[in-house]
Amino acid sequence: MLTGIAEAEEFREYIARWVDERFIPVAEEIDVAGEFPRELAKELGELGYIGTMYPESAGGSGLDNPNLCFAILNEELARGSVGFAAWICMQGSTATHTIYEWGNDHLRKNYFEPALKGDKICAFAITEPNAGSDAASLRTKAVKVDGGWVINGSKVFTSNGTVSDFITVVASTDLSLGAKALELFIVDKEFEGFSVSRKLDKMSVRSSDTAALSFDEMFVPDNHMLSSETGNGFRNAYRSLTVDRIFTAALAVGNARAAYDAARQYAQEREQFGQPIGRFQAIEHRLVDMYANVETAAMHTYHAAKLADQGEDITIEAALAKLVASEKGREVCHDAVTIYGGWGLMNEYPVQRYLRDSYFPMVGGGTPEIMRKIIARKAAR
Ligand SMILES: Cc1cc2nc3c(=O)[nH]c(=O)nc-3n(C[C@H](O)[C@H](O)[C@H](O)COP(=O)(O)OP(=O)(O)OC[C@H]3O[C@@H](n4cnc5c(N)ncnc54)[C@H](O)[C@@H]3O)c2cc1C
């Protein structure tokens, strides 16, 4: 649990109190409803948490260790619910990072700043029905016209998709050029031609809104294009998605911690054969393995976050953190359900939700196979 950095430990104390008092009591209800809790998002904006990653000059928190603190924010929120935590992962990082890095004053004032306050909700859309792991093969097309661009295409699995006020959309200016022709556009939900095709129902992270989007002859003005026309849009998107993997790893850590805490308590309370089941060595060892997995996941995550704070290249470490944390996290959740016996399958205990939610950090931001593909550049060649 310790990070050895005083700022991050103090940061954790505050957000952990909010999670325990305000969030955990309603987490189950939010999951069952399958609705994004906008009022809680607004509250976190008012408390200043959405701006954890950014300097004070941009309206952010001005922390010395922004990546580590943002990882802790994601972890602590995920102790309550990965679904809601997945929202801040997007809102406080990928979907705002693009404007912070490559946006003009108009975009910063009208989109970035309201997003940090929780007044506007945002999303990042690269995945398409036929372009997932191979994101660069996307088919959404942007054609230059007088004063802007006309975009046609569709996106799928967009987190915050139905509740977003604006979306960073990745589109191609020349389908024959692949990744080289990808650019980023800020799409306002009020733009003509933009529509939500459907809200997707899912078994995991139910309180995270997920949608399919459609763009039909949608005009996007020139000042809503993020990158230059030289074709560095994919590099920019890749940079945002790379750092985001640390925070997705943190979601897995928080979820696994919640599962471990619940199983440990249950093992002390549940009696069979005249004693608490936690006194049987088989259960004790399972709990030790769970603890080891949680700490391993946390250490990889904090290590990658600290490297990001030092300005190091984190391509490998972020992928490693996400791979280890998501796979270990899923094991921990599986063990928790096992320790609960029959009650582990019942909806009245949260361990079934922890197991369902443990699948999201494995897929969001790239699957384990894709993480291994990235890490292989260092570890297997
Ligand atoms: C709940 C949820 C929220 C999401 N939020 C967003 C979002 O906000 N924005 C966004 O743009 N996207 C989002 N995604 C999309 C996510 O990033 C993709 O689902 C993911 O990258 C995998 O793409 P795919 O689902 O098309 O699977 P595919 O790419 O079709 O993969 C299917 C299987 O093939 C394997 N595979 C593919 N290529 C290889 C390879 N080269 N080597 C070995 N195995 C391979 C995969 O690992 C996987 O097991 C979200 C997804 C989910 C489920």
Say yes or no: CB of residue 125 within 6 Å of ligand 1. Answer: yes
**Per-residue pLDDT at 228:** 65
φ/ψ region of 36 (left if φ > 0, alpha if ψ in -120 to 50, else beta) reads beta
The DSSP annotation for 8-57 comes to HHHHHHHHHHHIIIIIHHHHHHHHHHT---HHHHHHHHHTTGGGTTS-GG
Name the residue at shortest CA distance from atom 48 of ligand 1. Answer: 367
Pocket test for ligand 1, best of 84, 244, 326, 367 (most atoms within 8 A of CB): 367
Q: Which atom of ligand 1 is nearest to the CA of 133?
A: 29
CA distance 329 to 249: 9
**Per-residue pLDDT at 2:** 62
Q: What is the dihedral of CA 227, 233, 239, 240, to 10 degrees?
A: 70
**Per-residue pLDDT at 176:** 94
321 and 282 in contact (C-beta within 8 Å)?
no
Say yes or no: CB of residue 210 within 6 Å of ligand 1. Answer: yes
Q: Which atom of ligand 1 is nearest to the CA of 200?
A: 1
Q: What is the pLDDT of residues 226-278, one digit of tens each?
A: 976 556 788 888 888 999 999 999 999 999 999 999 999 999 999 999 999 99
Q: State if pTM tops 0.95.
A: yes
Cα distance from N-terminal residue to C-terminal residue, the chain: 33
Name the residue at shortest CA distance from atom 41 of ligand 1. Answer: 370
Name the residue at shortest CA distance from atom 37 of ligand 1. Answer: 133
Axis crossing angle, helix 66-80 with helix 281-309, rounded to the nearest 10: 150
DSSP 332: H
**Per-residue pLDDT at 238:** 87
Q: Determine phi and psi for 120, rounding to 5 degrees.
A: -125, 140
Q: Which residues of the chain have pLDDT under 50?
A: none
Q: Which atom of ligand 1 is nearest to the CA of 161?
A: 8
Say yes or no: CB of residue 3 within 6 Å of ligand 1. Answer: no
Task: Note the helical H segments in the chain.
Answer: 6-18, 24-33, 38-46, 66-80, 82-89, 95-102, 105-107, 113-117, 233-269, 281-309, 315-339, 351-357, 360-363, 368-379
**Per-residue pLDDT at 227:** 75
Compute, in angstroms, the gap from residue 366 CA to the centroid of ligand 1. Answer: 6
Query: CA nearest 172: which of 227, 247, 120?
Result: 227
- What sign does the CA torsion over 20, 23, 26, 28 have? negative
Please give the C-alpha separations between residue 190 and each of 100, 215, 337, in angstroms, as whole numbers.
Answer: 22, 12, 44
Query: CA nearest 219: which of 190, 197, 196, 177?
Result: 190
Q: Determine phi and psi for 93, rounding to 5 degrees.
A: -130, -100
SS3 156: strand
SS3 100: helix
CA distance 228 to 221: 14
CA distance 125 to 160: 10
The domains located in the chain, with CATH, are: 6-121 (1.10.540.10), 123-231 (2.40.110.10), 234-379 (1.20.140.10)
Please give the C-alpha separations between residue 160 and each of 75, 83, 156, 173, 360, in angstroms, as whole numbers.
Answer: 19, 11, 11, 25, 14
Q: If 0-12 CB within 10 Å is exposed, 13-18 middle and 19+ buried, where does residue 285 land?
A: exposed
**Per-residue pLDDT at 192:** 98
Compute, in angstroms, the gap from residue 237 CA to the centroid of ligand 1. Answer: 16
Residue with tokens 């929780």: 118
The token pair at 342 is: 């029959």
**Per-residue pLDDT at 147:** 98
Q: What are the beta bridge partners of residue 145?
A: 148
CA distance 47 to 45: 5
Compute, in angstroms, the gap from residue 33 CA to the centroid of ligand 1. Answer: 25
Q: How many CB atoms lie within 10 A of CB 159?
A: 27
Q: What is the pLDDT of residues 22-66, one digit of tens each?
A: 999 999 999 999 989 999 999 999 999 999 999 999 999 999 999
Say yes or no: CB of residue 158 within 6 Å of ligand 1. Answer: yes
Q: Which atom of ligand 1 is nearest to the CA of 360?
A: 1
Say yes or no: CB of residue 366 within 6 Å of ligand 1. Answer: yes
